[in-house]
């Protein structure tokens, strides 16, 4: 009789910081490490390998990583065989320096070198400390896009492009994610087809600037064509994408909102500021008037379009008048939700060298004024939904466990009483009340 020897799987504890791109890279990390015999655990005490997938978009995100690493020191002291690694944007930015700064760190991998992680872990098992953060700007990178894991979930994210060539003057992304590159459309369509085959009903296309998909690749589909191809697939109920650069919203893309019912009525369209002077110094490539004209054209194509945005307050040199223009932009656009941030100085970026950095107090006070105004607008819009019928994709059981939960076409969370057998279906729901972060409804 042959004896089957199964090695006990090793524990991988993975902490993901930052954006959806990192979440998607983390899926890839889990599948790569499973090939080395690591299985994901939810308790760091059970881990043989702890990996942090990090974000450096603002200084706060970066310092969280160092705090976290600080807390891991004791674990390493107690268990010298524990391997600790850092990847993602902080790793890309710091590289080798991280190994010097954190003596108990074993390995560092960058945003282009996920595929080298197994080698780095094997080296760490032999006691070697390594960092690998080179950018890959060749064709090879096309083969390194994260592939989705076989999770069979209803809502899935698909990376279609990576990197950014825009160099907004505040932003570290071009330095830590590298040049823009679009994945082959054939692969994207193939992956989506497989996901739909395994039960996915909603697909969100991901990239730093999805609107410029294919522009740099001769013969490749452009973004609007890609959307049309995906919307034509049987089995897909809903299609979303993020993030968009306002300058790159083409007439063809606007037409998609008119023509494709599966394309959800929600667009995340970061303005960053409502002041022309600031937009110019941010190198955003559009004026306030152009931004508003784009929103108006989108709403002509899709009248109920829900717009969300990002705003940075306290950019160097932002005057009270500039800030007032941002406040009034909120009133004109009427964002259903807004992600707002205090300007954070980032290494290598052009704005770090600009004059007239504002005090922390002024920046914080502006952020609070902006958020107060936005809360009112969000509430007004959500109260306005009470009594309306919304199409909701039921995604699961609510956190409290007594209701079903899903999202409207415009991406608002809705809780509703109903049979769990309905999960996975798109149902009509009458909205009965609105709460700060969700809506309550009844099945029609
Ligand atoms: N400071 C503050 N916010 C920033 N963002 C990007 N860089 C910075 C920075 N240096 C914000 C932008 C972007 C979002 C992802 O993060 O609003 O759209
Ligand atoms: Fe950063 Fe601007 Fe690129 Fe967005 S478009 S990732 S803000 S540089």
Distance CA 68, CA 63 (A): 9
> Which residues make up the CATH 2.40.50.140 domain(s) of the chain?
389-443
Interval 89-104: pLDDT, tens: 999 999 999 999 999 9
Q: Please tell me whether residue 201 adopts helix, strand or coil conformation.
A: coil
Assessment of whether the complete model's pTM goes beyond 0.85: yes
Superfamily of domain 389-443: Nucleic acid-binding proteins (2.40.50.140)
The ranges of the chain annotated as CATH 3.40.50.12160 are 10-137
Q: Minimal CA–CA distance to 270: which of 309, 228, 238?
A: 309
Please report the pLDDT score of residue 138 as a whole number.
80
Instruction: Check if 344 has its Cβ closer than 6 Å to any atom of ligand 1.
Output: yes
The pLDDT, as a whole number, for residue 3 is 42
Judging by DSSP bridges, how do beta strands 426-434 and 389-397 pair with one another? Answer: antiparallel
Position 7 scores a pLDDT of 67
Specify the CATH class of 10-137 in words: alpha beta
| Closest-CA residue to 65 (of 85, 39, 47) | 85
Structure tokens at 253: 């893309």
Closest-CA residue, ligand 1 atom 6, reads: 171
Instruction: Among the bound ligands, name the one nearest to the CA of residue 357.
Output: 1
User: Which residue's CA is the nearest one to ligand 2's atom 5?
Assistant: 166
- Look at residue 5 in the predicted model and tell me its pLDDT: 45
CATH number of 139-383: 3.80.30.20
Query: Which atom number of ligand 2 is nearest to the Cα of residue 284?
Result: 2
pLDDT of 146: 64
The dihedral formed by the CA atoms of 87, 16, 208 and 286, expressed in degrees to the nearest 10 = -110
How far does the centroid of ligand 1 lie from the alpha carbon of residue 306, in Å? 21
Helix (H, G, I), strand (E, B) or coil at 223: helix
Shortest-distance ligand to the CA of residue 341: 1
Domain with CATH 3.80.30.20 in the chain: 139-383
Q: Is the CB of 209 under 6 A from ligand 2?
A: yes
Residue in the block written with tokens 């902006």: 370
- Of 17, 22, 58, the one to substitute when testing ligand 1's pocket (max ligand atoms within 8 A of C-beta) is 58
| pLDDT (0 to 100) of residue 387 | 97
How far, in Å, is the centroid of ligand 1 from the Cα of 355? 19
Proximal ligand: closest to the CA of 175: 2
Q: Each residue's pLDDT tens digit in the chain (444 positions)?
A: 444 445 678 999 999 999 999 998 999 899 899 999 999 999 999 999 999 999 999 999 999 999 999 999 999 999 999 999 999 999 999 999 999 999 999 999 999 999 999 999 999 999 999 999 999 988 788 877 766 666 778 999 999 999 999 999 999 999 999 999 999 999 999 999 999 999 999 999 999 999 999 999 999 999 999 999 999 999 999 999 999 999 999 999 999 999 999 999 999 999 999 999 999 999 999 999 999 999 999 999 999 999 999 999 999 999 999 999 999 999 999 999 999 999 999 999 999 999 999 999 999 999 999 999 999 999 999 999 999 999 999 999 998 888 999 999 999 999 999 999 999 999 999 999 999 889 999 999
Q: Confirm or reject: Cβ of 173 under 6 Å from ligand 2.
A: yes
| Residue 399, pLDDT score | 85
């Amino acid at each position: 009789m042959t004896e089957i020897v199964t090695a006990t799987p090793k524990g991988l504890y993975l902490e993901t910081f930052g954006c959806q791109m990192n979440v998607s890279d983390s899926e890839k990390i889990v599948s790569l490490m499973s090939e080395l015999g690591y299985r994901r655990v939810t308790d760091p005490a059970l881990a043989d390998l702890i990996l942090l997938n990090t974000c450096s978009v603002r200084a706060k995100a970066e310092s969280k990583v160092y705090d976290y690493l600080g807390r891991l020191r004791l674990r390493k002291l107690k268990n010298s065989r524990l391997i600790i690694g850092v990847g993602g944007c902080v790793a890309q930015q710091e590289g080798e320096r991280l190994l010097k700064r954190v003596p108990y760190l074993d390995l560092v991998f960058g945003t282009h070198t996920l595929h080298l992680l197994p080698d780095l872990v094997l080296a760490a098992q032999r006691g070697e400390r390594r960092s690998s953060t080179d950018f890959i700007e060749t064709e090879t990178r096309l083969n390194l896009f994260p592939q989705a894991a076989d999770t069979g979930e209803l809502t899935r994210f698909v990376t279609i492009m990576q990197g950014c060539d825009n160099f907004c003057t505040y932003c570290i992304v071009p330095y830590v994610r590298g040049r823009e590159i679009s994945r082959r459309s054939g692969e994207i369509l193939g992956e989506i087809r497989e996901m739909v085959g395994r039960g996915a009903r909603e697909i969100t296309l991901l990239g730093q600037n999805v609107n410029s998909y294919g522009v740099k690749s001769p013969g490749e589909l452009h973004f609007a064509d890609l959307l049309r191809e995906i919307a034509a697939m049987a089995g897909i109920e809903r299609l979303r994408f993020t993030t968009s650069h306002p300058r790159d919203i083409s007439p063809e893309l606007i037409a998609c909102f008119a023509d494709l019912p599966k394309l959800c009525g929600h667009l995340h369209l970061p303005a960053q500021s409502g002041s022309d002077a600031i937009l110019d110094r941010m190198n955003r490539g559009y004026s306030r008037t152009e931004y508003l004209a784009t929103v108006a054209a989108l709403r002509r194509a899709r009248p109920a379009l829900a717009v969300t945005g990002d705003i940075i307050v306290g950019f160097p040199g932002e005057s009270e008048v500039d800030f007032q223009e941002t406040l009034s932009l909120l009133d004109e656009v009427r964002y259903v939700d807004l992600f707002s941030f205090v300007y954070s100085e980032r290494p290598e970026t052009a704005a770090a060298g600009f004059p007239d950095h504002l005090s922390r107090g002024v920046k914080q006070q502006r952020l609070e004024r902006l958020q107060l105004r936005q809360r009112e607008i969000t509430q007004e819009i959500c109260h306005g939904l009470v009594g309306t019928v919304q199409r909701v994709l039921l995604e699961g059981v609510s956190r409290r466990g007594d209701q079903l939960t899903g999202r409207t076409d415009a991406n608002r969370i809705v809780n509703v009483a109903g049979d769990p057998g309905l999960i996975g279906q798109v149902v009509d729901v009458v909205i009965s009340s609105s709460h700060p972060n969700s809506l309550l409804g009844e099945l029609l």
